[in-house]
């Protein structure tokens, strides 16, 4: 598929680079100063830069299976999401952290139904952290409500875990950092925002 990537690169050079060259050059010299850190799913259908129609340098994006933020645990082990949060909040000093879930999330499906047999090394233990929250959220719901409720539960869980990081909690309490939860509906292109306990409302 390198040929497809090369074609995309050529389109970028022909169509975008000429108009954005000065912006890229300034970013190279002055460094990045993103205003928002986005924790999103790795799903290829839910790209934050496209959904928010942002320019280079505006977003610091962390993507993983099911847009999960694990709790604060500085144990010396490898924590990619936590490292990105620490850098984004403490070094880049973003003003906003957004957790964005999305419809038809395979990671959330794995929480509901179990991970694929060939994804037991890393995916299974990764999504396991979301299983209790998802099970609580979908208990007693009709079948057609389960998927969305589970996806929204993971967004809420990640926001809760963000607040276990002391330097995030401190900055939020001081009004220096805002946390938000969003959900993107792929088929309709609609973004919803967490506006209260258990309630997501469409952004118009």
Annotated binding site: 41, 43, 102, 105
The C-alpha atoms of residue 158 and residue 85 are separated, in whole angstroms, by 12
Cα dihedral 175, 177, 182, 184 sign: positive
For 65-114, strand residue ranges (E) read 96-102
Task: Please enumerate, by residue number, every residue annotated as part of a binding site for Zn(2+).
Answer: 41, 43, 102, 105
Partners of 30 in the beta sheet? none
Contact 72, 83 (CB under 8 A): no
Counting every residue, how long is the chain? 204
């Amino acid at each position: 598929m390198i040929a497809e990537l090369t074609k995309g690169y050529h389109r970028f050079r022909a169509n975008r680079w000429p108009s954005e060259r000065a912006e890229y050059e300034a970013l190279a010299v002055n460094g990045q100063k993103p205003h928002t850190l986005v924790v999103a799913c790795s799903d290829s259908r839910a790209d934050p830069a496209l959904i928010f129609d942002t320019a280079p340098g505006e977003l610091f994006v962390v993507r993983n299976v099911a847009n999960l933020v694990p709790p604060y645990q500085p144990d010396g082990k490898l924590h990619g999401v936590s490292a990105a949060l620490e850098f984004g909040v403490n070094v880049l000093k973003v003003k906003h952290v957004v957790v964005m879930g999305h419809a038809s999330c395979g990671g959330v499906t794995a929480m509901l139904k179990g991970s694929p047999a060939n994804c037991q090394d890393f995916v299974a233990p990764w999504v396991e952290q979301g299983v209790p929250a998802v099970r609580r959220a979908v208990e007693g719901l009709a079948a057609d409500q389960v998927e969305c409720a589970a996806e929204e539960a993971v967004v809420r869980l990640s926001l809760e875990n963000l607040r276990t990081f002391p330097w995030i909690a401190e900055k939020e309490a001081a009004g220096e950092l805002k946390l938000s939860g969003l959900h993107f509906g792929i088929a309709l292109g609609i973004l919803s925002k967490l506006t209260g306990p258990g309630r997501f409302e469409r952004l118009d």
